[in-house]
């Protein structure tokens, strides 16, 4: 009788917990612009295979105040506001920002007769600030600086790796001493941080992967990022490991209670 009572109690506890788990898993993606929640009447935002938030292009026009054009023959979307214009082509990871070719880690998607664009790349290209809170599945967009030229925030070229030196994900990227001290020194070093305010682990990983993909072969990038993602908090150690690609060697490691270091060397 005692065993039956214990079993019934366990079943009741499990049954009580199940709705909570289901609710958390079903939490929809929310978009907040300048503090105001935005409702999308038809096509809904979603996270794509590259962990980037995709939104219907109409949202870009209505919520950010941008002009949107679509070239059906070229399968390309153009988004413009002020002096800034970004062109994204379906299925491509290269986009054009004010006439300059840039790289991203995802692409425009055509689904159910709707055009979806990666909101972070589009918003930041136009001058907005984007932050993601994974705990509540919400993306926060601040358009107060929209319309400023990207040159005001700037990108840098570190030995062929073109990047934002201060990404919103809080990934830390530094130029190495390869150019001044020789081939035994790093081209770039990146650090995925854990204890920095507003830092997003997922977005830092995505940014690091995007930077590596510019010049490192995909098999090596995949191996590097798979190893990096075995450490998701600051506590465990990540043993030093080197990945030799076609032209580059990438070293990865982290001590206990520390950030993850990713260093790129010329082979």
pLDDT for the residue numbered 263 = 97
Per the structure, the complete domain to which residue 138 belongs is given by: 30-142
Token pair, residue 65, equals: 């105040």
Give the confidence band of 226 by pLDDT, cuts at 50, 70, 90: very high
- Per-residue CA distances from 5 to 8, 10, 31, 162, 167 (Å): 5, 9, 47, 64, 56
**Predicted pLDDT at 147:** 54
pLDDT value of position 102: 79
Model confidence at 250, pLDDT cuts 50, 70, 90, reads: very high
DSSP 90: B
Residue 219 lies inside a defined structural domain of this protein: yes
Alpha helices in 27-159 (DSSP H): 57-64, 119-125
Structure token digits, residue 120 = 């972070």
CA pair distance 111, 206, nearest whole angstrom: 23
Pairing type for strands 138-142 and 30-33 reads parallel
CATH label of the domain that carries residue 53: 3.30.457.10
162 and 213 both lie in a single domain: yes
**What is the per-residue pLDDT across 117-164, written as a single tens digit (0 to 9) for each?**
888 888 888 888 888 888 888 888 888 776 554 444 467 888 888 888
Judge contact between 240 and 203, C-beta under 8 A: no
Establish how many alpha carbons lie within 13 A of residue 157's alpha carbon, considering only the half-sphere containing its beta carbon: 3
Q: Which of 95, 120, 142 is the last residue in one of the domains?
A: 142
108 and 172 inside one domain: no
Percent of the chain with pLDDT over 90: 30
- pLDDT, tens only, 67-105: 888 888 888 888 888 778 888 888 888 888 888 877 788
On whether residue 87 sits in a domain, the answer given is yes
State the average pLDDT over residues 176-203: 90
Residues 161 and 126 in one domain: no
Residues 241 and 208 placed together within one structural domain of the fold: yes
The verdict on residue 11 lying in a domain is no
Confidence of residue 24 (pLDDT cuts 50, 70, 90): very low
Q: Is the pLDDT of residue 254 over 90?
A: yes
pLDDT tens-digit map of 46-56: 888 888 889 88
């Amino acid at each position: 009788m005692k065993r039956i009572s214990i079993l019934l109690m366990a079943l009741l506890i499990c049954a009580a917990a199940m709705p909570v788990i289901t609710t958390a898993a079903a939490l929809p993606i929310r978009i907040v612009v300048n503090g105001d929640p935005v409702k999308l009447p038809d096509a809904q935002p979603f996270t794509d295979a590259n962990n980037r938030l995709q939104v219907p292009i109409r949202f870009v026009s209505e919520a950010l105040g941008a002009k949107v054009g679509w070239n059906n023959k070229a399968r390309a979307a153009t988004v413009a506001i002020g002096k800034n214009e970004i062109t994204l082509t379906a299925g491509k990871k290269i986009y054009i920002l004010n006439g300059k070719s840039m790289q991203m880690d995802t692409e425009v998607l055509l689904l159910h007769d709707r055009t979806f664009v990666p909101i972070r790349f589009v918003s930041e290209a136009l001058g907005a600030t984007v932050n993601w809170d994974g705990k509540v599945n919400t993306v926060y967009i601040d358009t107060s600086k929209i319309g400023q030229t990207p040159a005001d925030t700037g990108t840098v070229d570190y030995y062929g790796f073109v990047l934002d030196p201060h990404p919103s994900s809080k990934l830390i990227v530094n130029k190495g001493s390869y150019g001044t001290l020789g081939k035994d020194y790093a081209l770039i070093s990146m650090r995925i941080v854990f204890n920095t305010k507003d830092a997003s682990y997922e977005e830092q990983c995505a940014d690091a992967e995007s930077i590596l993909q510019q010049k490192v072969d995909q098999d090596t990038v995949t191996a590097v990022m798979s190893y990096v993602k075995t450490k998701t908090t600051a506590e465990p150690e990540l043993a030093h490991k080197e990945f030799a690609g076609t032209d580059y060697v990438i070293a990865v490691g982290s001590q206990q209670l520390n950030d993850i270091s990713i260093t790129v060397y010329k082979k």
